[in-house]
Amino acid sequence: MNPINYKVTEEFKRDLKRLLKKFRSLEEDLELAKLASIGPFHIGIPNEKGALEKKDSNAIFPIQNFCTEELKICKLKKFACKALKGRGVKSGVRIIYAYYVLTNTVDFIEIYFKGEAENEDKERIKQYLAGI
């Protein structure tokens, strides 16, 4: 299985740039989330026999009404942010992304801090879906 190809939307870039002013470790934290949560959830990790085994750490949740067999719109809830010391994976940072099953691609759509926004921007998800 090929590794996941990661992409970002322009809106995600703007969100990240704004949040980096407050949480300086976000870029590094995002790289760790790719390795520890997103990859194992969608493609798996090798088991003792070398076969890939999917691992659900209860960190990723498909968003209802936006998923098909080929495209999963997901929310990453358990996101450890080093800039928020002592909070571990309960940092309050959320990431919304689209996972394309057939091409093994992730498009990051939105990143937000729960202290600023309670839930994902469903209109942004609809706009993203309309643009693909």
Domain of 114, CATH number, reads 3.30.2310.20
- Residues 38-93 pLDDT 10s: 999 998 877 788 777 788 888 999 999 999 999 999 999 999 899 888 787 778 89
Task: Count the domains in the chain.
Answer: 1
Enclosing domain of residue 121: 5-45+52-130
- Residues 91-125 pLDDT 10s: 889 999 999 999 999 999 999 999 888 899 999 99
DSSP the chain: -PPPEEEE-HHHHHHHHHHHTT-TTHHHHHHHHIIIIIHHHHT-EE-TTS-EE----S-EEEPTTS--SSEEEEEE--B--TTSTT-TTBS-EEEEEEEETTTTEEEEEEEEETTT-SS--HHHHHHHHHT-
